[in-house]
Amino acid sequence: MSVLAPRRVGTSFAARYDHPSMLTVLHPLLLWGTALIAVPVLIHLLLRQRPQPRAWAAMRWLLAAAKAAERRWRLTNLLLLLLRCLAVLLIALALARPSLAGLGGGDHLLIVVDGTASMGPRSSDPGTLAAVAAALAKHPLPWRAVSVVAIEDAAVVVAERVAPAAALAALAGRPAAPVPGGLDDALDRPGRDRLESLASGADALLISDFQHDDGTRLAAALSAHARSLTRWAVSASELVSGSELVSGSETLGSGSGTLANAGLAGAEPADPLPGQAGELLVRTIGQAGAVLVAVDGGSPLAAPTTAQGDHLRLVLPPLGEGAHRLRLKLVDGGLNYDDVLELPLVVRSRMNALLIHQRTDFAVAALRADDRGFAATSIGPAGLSAAVLPEPGAVVLRGRVADGARLRDWVRSGGVLWISAADLLADPVLAELAPGLAAGEPVAGGAWASGDREVDEVLSLAGHEPMPGWSLPPGATPLLAAGKAPAVIELAAGRGAVAVELLDLATDAAFTARATVPLWVVRAVRRMAARSLAPLEFTAGSPWPKERADFRLVRGQVDLKPVAGAPLLAAPGLWSLVGADGLGREAIILPDPTEGRVGREPPVGAERTLAEALPVRAGSDLGVWLLIAALAVILIEGAFAAWAGRMYGR
């Protein structure tokens, strides 16, 4: 049961500890029960015996003895009254459960702080967690022992029952962990039992920005063990450079202001040619600004960027052929956790392409004409069984083949297939690459659009109307559309991809006459090939896929075994995804997009200043001892009353 000691409104934290014998009670209203002391007094006054004069000659010889006995009886009666009043007083106090500062208990303060990514540095500011440690260091902590537990990928004990200065020093030297989560996650992560053990009999203080959760579950779990529990809601929107508190006050509380945050949420695979500037399409969170790009560990340089919806189009410097490492750094005033993106990039000169056709159309002509980007070989449909499929590479299929199973398996292993919907659905084996693809009713068309501005400047001058309607498989991505109707879609198939023409584009003279059609085909094929070689992407904080249950994430000395269905607790960056066979593949862990959130209101009941959030250091709960004392007084009073009755016969 949570013990929340009352405090006066407007009283500062320091003033609350000036008086060493401050008395606090859990149920102050029950102190009115002490007024019941008047009950035995009234009973005593109403039932007291009044002497009745009786004439008796022998009384004069017994008068002296009677007066002595009367004095003893009055003293005995007064003692009984005092015992009864004391019993009533002790029962009333026991129900109010008082405690006296400095008299037992109140010796241990447990600080449970959110140590996840949202509490980390923002731009050049050390961040919310560092400001919390600095604010705590400025306040006197009148507990003899202080423990600190940081909620990270586990409930980590930073300091255990040490002096306040030592505990705060340990907290000040601990950075926020680059993992997502909040206070309530402590109940689902390792270290919960240790945390509950430290909370036993302690005054607990929960500290968080409460942007991920309200900490309600953790508060309920610790209240069953702690003497008292309070929550302090801190806010990055009220921090200033150097971790100073706003306006020199002692407030880190959540105010009405907000702090804008932008982040990097991934990138589309790029496929630049050797020695030529390339483009990288980066997914962003919020209003992104300048981006610095470092190549292969070199110095970061500002990259020209163009905003495109929730993407940034970056211009990459010319790179040599081979594998490279890119490190993108977003320059903003928000959370640093989601400002960095690490990417592998393979620069290839020419990729192999196998053109299976009987007649030349726009796709075959485009790949055959691009000598710098493709090494193309043409064969007829009958020659597929004897041909070597390019690995990695692309295949353009015009017509039907007998060896569909080999082609299907090649695609799933990382190949890129360009095919019409008619040829795909005519082969039951190849149709497995597009489950759920089916023709429907015609729909409205419009101008051609590929999403590539350079291509669309010319391509959009033509269009198609109407368009055939299709039921598309899940995850289908349009490569070309007429208005809102897709004309060519990309489907992921294993590690490879399939480009499916939903319309016979070769018969559309207005389309094939556009000068940018070959450029569109070349870029689409190379980008699909680049995606097949790109590392897998996972988002921190999202459930780990069940199909990857046997895989591990390895980076340097860190070896993680994510739990299927549980949130992924890994720092953003490049990792190796290692299977049960020991073979690895690169994987990118993307930052949790919710960690940079700043607009969520703190929970009801959370204090907005440290002065109000720190628990009052009360003594041990005296309620049980007072109840035991009351029972003892009642027994003594009963025994004393029985003795008096026998002694005086009253």
pLDDT in tens, 491-545: 999 889 999 999 999 999 999 999 999 999 999 999 899 888 888 899 999 999 9
Query: How far apart, in whole angstroms, are the C-alpha atoms of residue 129 and residue 125?
Result: 11
- pLDDT of the residue at 452: 86
Q: Per mean pLDDT, which of 45-49, 112-116, 198-202 is the most reliable?
A: 112-116
**Which residues, including other chains, have CB under 8 Å from residue 211's CB and lie 6 or more apart?**
118, 182, 594, 595, 597, 598, 600
Q: Do 41 and 164 have their domain in common? A: no
Domain containing residue 237: 108-258+598-613
In this structure, are 125 and 91 located in the same domain? no
User: Considering the domain boundaries, does residue 269 fall inside one?
Assistant: no
Alpha-carbon torsion (41, 46, 49, 51), positive or negative: positive
Say yes or no: 454 and 510 in one domain. yes
Give the separation between CA 237 and CA 603, rounded to whole angstroms. 17
Burial of residue 525 (number of CB atoms within 10 Å: 0-12, 13-18, 19+): buried
Residue closest to 614 by CA, chosen among 100, 110, 244: 110
- Our separate counts of H helices and E strands in the chain read 14, 31
DSSP string for 549-602 = TT-EEEETTEEE-PPBTSBP---SEEEEEE-TTS-EEEEEEEPPTTTT---PPP
Where does a domain end: 485, 511, 533?
533
Determine the average pLDDT of the residues in 433-453: 93
Highest mean pLDDT among 53-57, 285-289, 561-565: 561-565
Is 340 among the domain residues? yes
What is the chain's length?
650
Residues 324, 420: one domain?
no
Residues 182-191 pLDDT 10s:
888 888 888 9
User: Is 67 inside a domain boundary?
Assistant: yes
Whether 540 and 473 map to the same domain: the answer is no
> Does 245 share its domain with 139?
yes
| Residue ranges of E strands in 248-390 | 263-267, 278-285, 291-295, 301-302, 305-308, 311-316, 322-330, 340-347, 351-356, 374-379
CB neighbour list of residue 339: distance below 8 Å, 6 or more residues apart: 262, 263, 264, 329, 330, 331, 332
CATH of the domain at 412: 3.40.50.880
- Do 427 and 505 fall within a single domain? yes
Q: How confident is the model at residue 20 (pLDDT cuts 50, 70, 90)?
A: very low
Q: How confident is the model at residue 64 (pLDDT cuts 50, 70, 90)?
A: low
The domain total for the chain is 5
pLDDT tens column, 544-560 = 999 888 999 999 999 99
Kindly report the CATH number assigned to the domain that includes residue 130. Answer: 3.40.50
Domain membership of residue 264 (yes or no) is no
Could you tell me which of 106, 144, 88, 137 has the C-alpha nearest to residue 21? 106
Asked whether residue 603 falls in the same domain as residue 482, the answer is no
**How would you classify the pairing of strands 155-162 and 203-208?**
unpaired
Question: Domain ends where: 294, 324, 347?
Answer: 347
Shared domain for 420 and 477, answered yes or no, is yes
The string of pLDDT tens digits covering residues 590-636 is 999 888 877 778 888 888 888 888 887 655 667 778 888 889 988 99
Q: pTM of the prediction?
A: 0.70
Question: Which amino acid is it at 643?
Answer: W
Task: Look at residue 275 and tell me if it is in a domain.
Answer: no
Q: What are phi and psi of 496, to 5 degrees?
A: -105, -165
Distances (CA, A) of 333 to 91, 241, 312, 336, 450: 60, 11, 18, 8, 34
For residue 288, the domain's CATH number is 2.60.40
425 CB-contact burial (10 Å; exposed 0-12 / middle 13-18 / buried 19+)? middle
- What pLDDT band is residue 106 in, cutting at 50, 70 and 90? low
Tokens of 419: 């095919």
Which of left, alpha, beta for 328 (phi over 0: left; psi -120 to 50: alpha)?
beta
Same-domain check for residues 487 and 358: yes
Residue 443 CA to residue 493 CA, distance in Å, equals 27
Q: How many other CB atoms are there within 10 angstroms of residue 232's CB atom?
A: 26
Same structural domain, 242 and 291: no
The answer on 221 and 98 residing in a single domain is: no
Q: Helices 128-137 and 164-172 meet at what angle, rounded to 10?
A: 160
- Confidence at 87, pLDDT banded by 50, 70, 90: confident
User: How high does pLDDT run on average in the chain?
Assistant: 84
Residue 29 within any structural domain of the chain: yes
Burial of 427-448, coded b for 16+ CB within 10 Å and e otherwise, reads beebeebbeebeeeeebebbeb
268 assigned to some structural domain: no
Domain contains 618: no
